[in-house]
Structures are given as structure tokens and as C-alpha cells.
Amino acid sequence: MTTDVDADTQPPGPSKAPTVASPITGAPVKLFSRQWFSGILLRYSMVIVVLLVIAYFSYRSARFATPDNLVTILVAAAPFALIALGQTLVILTGGIDLSVGSVIAVSAMAGAATAKANPGQVWMTVSVAMAVGLAFGCINGVLVSRINVPPFIATLGTLTAGSGVAYVIGGGAPINGLPPEFGSIANTKILGLQIPVLLMIIGIVALAVIMKRTSYGLRVYAVGGNRNAAELAGINAKNVLFSVYAFSGLLAGLSGVMLASRVISGPPNLGQGYELDAIAAVVIGGASLMGGRGSIWGTTLGLFMIMTLNNGLDILVVPAYWQDVIKGVLIVAAVAVDVWSSRRRT
């Protein structure tokens, strides 16, 4: 004869470890398990790397971890941030903009020429520089979205043409002898921050909200993820593509006049190679060159990774060619992590 035993008197069974969603795949995994730790490391790898780099440079040089040096990094990062933000939108659509370096030069030369001809007209100077940048961006947008020229070829063409136009504006020489008001564009402080730094902060926050919370941001991601599917869903992919290249050119124009204002001159070779640092910031920040994946915050993190490296290596007097080697290794490593992460998701 059997008797029922109260369940409360039964010996407790083995307790199950709590589960959480995997940071990579979203599938349930045990908390603090190997899969959980690997997911955390993969998802926040760039944050971890940035913190390690900061710790290393702080250990090697007391000069690095000072408020003045932080301001130096922010001021150096601001013009790059503007072109990196525009490059992020382009890469999210699966494209690339190689022309931003030349657009910076043309805009800087146009702004410098305007400032020299119209002393004291600061707003006119900035407007002309931005209009030139916007014009080049619109040319890229038409070539890519309407004529279906591959982005690499289209922007490579405007890169070459823009470089020539910059020298044409200055007659093959820099534009010097600019009025003091031209220097005020980048060197004036508002709320204790230089204008480029303030614009960088506003741009990052505003674009982060736009890309995350608005229908325009969703359309950009949709076009980059699958253009055919986006068009079937009623999205005008041509307009989206045109807009991101136009916006990239506009920000490059603003960056150009800021950089020229900082040195109170109009060098025709200003911005040379800047497009590579912008692309590197976006890729290191976790964006996929295939489009459809990435974020403004990731680009910001990638940008500050590069700027922190540049600053720290300069303080440690590391030769420029070794700095290029280190940045190249970082870009390859970032792409490798991106590929590995994609495979883990599938």
C-alpha cells in the first residue's frame, strides 16, 4: 500500500541555473556560462579595447590622463566626427564615400576665398563651404542612385575631380592672409566648448536619435539590408541613397571650413587621406561594409579609438609609419570580428 507524501517533504531536486538571452544570437544561455561570457566579450569588445588602450597610455605617460589632453583629443576628433557620421549613413546603405577628403579641401578653399573677399562675413563663409560640400554630395547621390554607378567608382571620380578643383580655386597655392574673423569659426567657445566640439556632440546625439527613432533611419537600414525587399515594401530606395550621399557631402563641407579656420588658412591638400580614417572609424565601430548593420554610437566609439591611439602614440613618440601599421591591423581585426559575429548570428 502506498501513501501520498506531501511535496513539501520531498528532497529538493537540482536547481537550474538562471538563463538569459545570448548577447549575440538572442537564444537562451546559462548566466555566467562560457557562451554568455563569449557573447559579452564579442558584443562589447570595442568598449573593452578602448578601456584597455586608455589604461595602457595612462600607465605609460602621466600626461595622457589629464583634462587638457582630453580636450586636445576632443578638438582633434571633432572634424573627423562630422565626416564619420556622414560616412556611417552611406555605409549603412551598403555604399562608400571616398570623396570626403577632397570635398573637405574644396570646401576649405571655397570658404577661405569667400572670407578673403568678404572680411567679417562669417556666415557667408560657412554657408559657401557647406554649399560646395552639398553640391559634391548631390553629384555623388545622382551618380549612385539615378545612374547606378557603383559607389566606389562614383566617389573615386569625385575624389580625383575635387582634388583638382581645390588647386584651381587657389591657383595651385594655399590661400593665406585671411581675416581674424575666419579663425573665430573654429576657435570660438560656447558653454566652455569650442564650436567644432559642440557641433560634434549635437551631431552625434541628433543622428543617433534620428537613426533609432524615426522612419528615415528605418528606411536607411532597410535599403542597406535588402534593397529589393525595401522597394517592395514601398520605400523609395533612390531617394534614400541620394539623401545619404548629399548629407555626407554637407558634413564634409562643414568639416572643411572648420579645419581651415583652425589654421586660418586654405591649404589645397587639406583633408588628404581623411576618408580612410572616417571609414576606419565606422568599420571599427561595428558597421558592416555590406550595409544594414551599424550605429552612430558604434562609429563614435570607433572614432575615439582612433583618436586616442593617435594621441597616445604621439605622446609616446611612436613614428608615424608604425601608427599606420597599428591602425591597419585594427581595421582588419574589426572586419574579422564582424565576419565572426555574423556567422555566430546565423
Which residues lie across from 20 on neighbouring strands?
29
Is residue 4 situated within a structural domain?
no
Q: Which pLDDT does position 43 carry in this prediction? A: 66
Q: Which pLDDT does position 292 carry in this prediction? A: 85
What's the gap between Cα 75 and its chain centre? 15
DSSP 267: -
Q: Which pLDDT does position 249 carry in this prediction? A: 95
Cβ neighbourhood burial of 33 (10 Å; 0-12, 13-18, 19+): middle
Contact 127, 115 (CB under 8 A): no
Please state whether 46 falls in left (phi above 0), alpha (psi between -120 and 50) or beta: alpha
Is residue 223 situated within a structural domain?
yes
Is residue 206 situated within a structural domain?
yes
CATH number at residue 232: 1.10.3470
Q: Which pLDDT does position 122 carry in this prediction? A: 86
Is residue 175 situated within a structural domain?
yes
The angle subtended at Cα 218 by Cα 335 and Cα 304, nearest 5°, is 40
Q: Which pLDDT does position 1 carry in this prediction? A: 47
Specify the number of domains making up the chain: 1
What's the gap between Cα 189 and its chain centre? 24
Which residues lie across from 175 on neighbouring strands?
266
Q: Which pLDDT does position 20 carry in this prediction? A: 58
Is residue 309 situated within a structural domain?
yes
Q: What single letter denotes the amino acid at residue 288?
A: S
Is residue 321 situated within a structural domain?
yes
Q: Which pLDDT does position 29 carry in this prediction? A: 63
Is residue 43 situated within a structural domain?
no
Q: Which pLDDT does position 266 carry in this prediction? A: 86
Q: Which pLDDT does position 5 carry in this prediction? A: 47
pLDDT digits (tens, 9 = 90+) for 206-263: 999 999 999 999 999 999 999 999 999 999 999 999 999 999 999 999 999 999 998 8
pLDDT digits (tens, 9 = 90+) for 32-52: 566 666 666 666 777 777 888
Is residue 35 situated within a structural domain?
no
Measure the CA–CA gap between 313 and 323, rounded to whole angstroms. Answer: 7
**Full residue range of the structural domain in which residue 156 is found:** 57-344
Residue spans of the chain under pLDDT 70 = 1-17, 19-43, 334-335, 337-346
